[in-house]
Amino acid sequence: MLLSDKLQNIEDAIEAKLEEYDFSYEVRNIVFGERERINNVTPPTIWVFFDESNIETVSGFAEQWTMPIVVAATYKSRNIKESRQRAEELASEASHAVMSGQQKLNGAVRLVKRTRFLPGTTRIQDQETIYGAGFGLELTFRWCLTKEG
């Protein structure tokens, strides 16, 4: 499997988990990386960011990857406390959705675990507070270089 295919399988599996999850509050958008500028996206939004991976050679061309990701949520309200609580709850639910199931991300990874909580930040827009919070997760998977054709 090509590396680009493996990474796309992981992203697709995360997106599927988030789309099927029954969130406590309506989620208007699910965004991966920085595809959208924050001003173009209306909260509540779930954001998924991939970070630099650690790679350990297992044998030959086989590698064990540890890929950190951040699953975050934004919520917008005139009430700062409500924005914070709902963003934190959505981020918690989103990280739980990614971790759930017996087959981790439909078999795309071997292990998914939460590693940290990212307390939120606030921003004022049109007299409303946008609050964001998230969780760091760690995905562990094996990948082996193979050529097609």
Q: What is the pLDDT of residue 149?
A: 42
> What pLDDT shows up at residue 39?
65
- Each residue's pLDDT tens digit in the chain (149 positions)? 788 999 999 999 999 999 999 999 999 999 998 766 666 788 999 999 999 999 999 888 899 999 999 999 999 999 989 999 999 999 999 999 999 876 778 788 999 999 999 988 778 777 788 899 999 999 999 998 776 54
Which DSSP symbol is given to 22?
A: -
Domains of the chain, start order: 3-144 (3.30.70.1700)
- Other Cβ atoms closer than 10 A to 111: 11
The pTM of this model reads: 0.88
Closest by Cα among 141, 139, 76, 130 to 112: 139
Q: DSSP characters for 79-104?
A: -HHHHHHHHHHHHHHHHHHHH-TTTG
Tell me the one-letter amino acid at 132.
Answer: G
DSSP result, 102-114: TTGGGGT-SEEEE
- Cis status of the peptide bond prior to 44, with omega within 30 of 0: yes
* Residues 74/93, Cβ–Cβ less than 8 Å: no
